[in-house]
Amino acid sequence: MSVLDKNIEESDQNFDYNKEDAINALKKEFGQQFSNSKSVREQHTDTTTIHESKLPDGVVFAENQDDVKRTIEICNKYKCPIIPFGVGSSLEGHVNALYGGVSIDLNNMNKILNVSPEDSFAVVQPGVTREQLNTYLRDTGLFFPIDPGANASLGGMTATNASGTNAVRYGTMKDNVIALRVVMPNGEIVKTANKAKKSAAGYDLTRLMVGSEGTLGIITEITLKLYGIPEVIAGGRVTFPSIKDATEAVIMVIQSGIPVARIELLDEEQVKACNAYSKLDLPEEPLLLLEFHGSEASVKEQSELFSEIATDFGGSNFEWTSNNEQRNKLWKARHDAYYATKSSKPDLEYIATDVCVPISRLSECIMETQEDLKKYNLYGHIVGHVGDGNFHVQLMVNPKDKNEINVLNTFLDRLSKRAINMDGTCTGEHGIGQGKKQYLIDELGSSVNFMKRIKSTLDPNNIMNPGKVF
């Protein structure tokens, strides 16, 4: 158990509900769409972090919005917790049933309801995945750019305000969700907006729901912005003598207004792991991977401008291509970073965390984090979405070693507080979940009290994903 998990249990340990009546009511209502078998419940808990897994008491497999509505109405009656479940790829224990209750599986709500090429939007159900949508869109000349790495559900991506490698150009989920339909904790269905690209009509309920982590309602329909597939996509990579040189080159690129689509940093330890796993021969120095989108002429110009800047900061070993196969080969180190880290210590367990700071503080934050990894003798690699100041630490630890877990918690505590002290955030894209509750208070102070008031007003029985965010 982490210190954060302990804090959660101590702060909200008296949560209780009428379990037997709730389960019987759900069985009667949903028949075979409901299961409380142990194997099914085990599939609907957290499996991607070191947080202790907490099983729900049952699972409802929703087929449509009405199923969601009826589930919520029953659960609200019996004060039964509800935990929304997509593909389960979240990294901060979002799908853990901390106080029992019912997991509502949204994977069967996986229809693409409407695509309007003229208006560049798509309407999807929450179980549609990122890859599924882009496969469907191929013949339209459009795509959806947000790429968190995993083939996550779009409902989960919306609920956690996901982003990823393309965020420097295309933004995060909150920048690309036009409207939502949400079933609220009392069973009422709310439309947060129409489909116009902008609106000055009332409070922005759409953005309130994006990133709410299932604590305010369950998303049943999402209207997303789409973008034209670029005429040319060029990729490249370049190495630098130090993290400082690499990040200063990135700062200059951003300040120069070069519209880079992706710009990723791998520290030297991550490069070593990728060389071993992917059979590469990269110089074991900090590595930048880039991607440019546009016309042939604009991409050529952007690549040349970046090369000039990179050279000024000691960049070398340049490789560039617009050939798709070759570009994927250039990016192989980034694509395999997760697997490279895991394979380097196969007897240990993987944990990932992230922070985000103003880009001017990025190199300082990364270097201090590297020093802490050495200081605490922890095995970890750094991968950064450096165009927006966000980086991840991929750690391999022994969860059975209490001393190592204590050291890990110290490291994670220092990392989150370091980012906050640099006027950044404890989570760039993983969310708060159950793992970073105390840091939300450190980061936002009394503002959290207003979030709690919103939560208690909309969800007075505290049934929506309790124990997360607050």
Residues 232-254 pLDDT 10s: 999 999 999 999 999 999 999 99
CA distance 420 to 289: 27
Distances (CA, A) of 447 to 239, 413, 443: 42, 21, 9
Q: Residue 149 has what pLDDT?
A: 76
CATH fold for the domain made of 345-433: Alpha-Beta Plaits (3.30.70)
Q: Residue 15 has what pLDDT?
A: 67
The domains of the chain are located at 3-107, 112-228, 232-337, 345-433
CA distance 372 to 381: 12
CA distance 172 to 195: 18
Looking at domain 3-107, its CATH class is: alpha beta
3-state secondary structure the chain: CCHHHHHHHHHCCCCCCCHHHHHHHHHHHHHHHEECCHHHHHCCCCCCCCCCCCCCCEEEECCCHHHHHHHHHHHHHHCCCEEEECCCCCCCCCCCCECECEEEECCCCCCEEEEECCCCEEEECCCCEHHHHHHHHHHHCEECCCCCCCCCEHHHHHHCCCCCCCHHHHCCHHHHEEEEEEECCCCCEEECCCCCCCCCCCCCHHHHHCCCCCCCCEEEEEEEECEECCCEEEEEEEECCCHHHHHHHHHHHHHCCCCEEEEEEECHHHHHHHHHHHCCCCCCCCEEEEEEEECHHHHHHHHHHHHHHHHHCCCEEEEEECCHHHHHHHCHHHHCHHHHHHHHCCCCEEEEEEEECCHHHHHHHHHHHHHHHHHCCCEEEEEEEHHHCEEEEEEEECCCCHHHHHHHHHHHHHHHHHHHHCCCECCCCCCCCCCCHHHHHHHHCCHHHHHHHHHHHHCCCCCECCCCCC
Q: Residue 90 has what pLDDT?
A: 81
Token duo for residue 166: 């393309």
Q: Residue 324 has what pLDDT?
A: 85
CATH fold for the domain made of 112-228: 3.30.465
Give pLDDT < 50 ranges for the chain. 1-13
Q: Residue 47 has what pLDDT?
A: 61
Query: Global pTM?
Result: 0.91
Residue carrying the six token digits 């549609």:
128
Token duo for residue 44: 């609907």
Fold equal for 232-337 and 345-433:
yes
CATH fold for the domain made of 232-337: Alpha-Beta Plaits (3.30.70)
- Residue whose C-alpha is closest to residue 193's, from 461, 33, 184, 202: 202
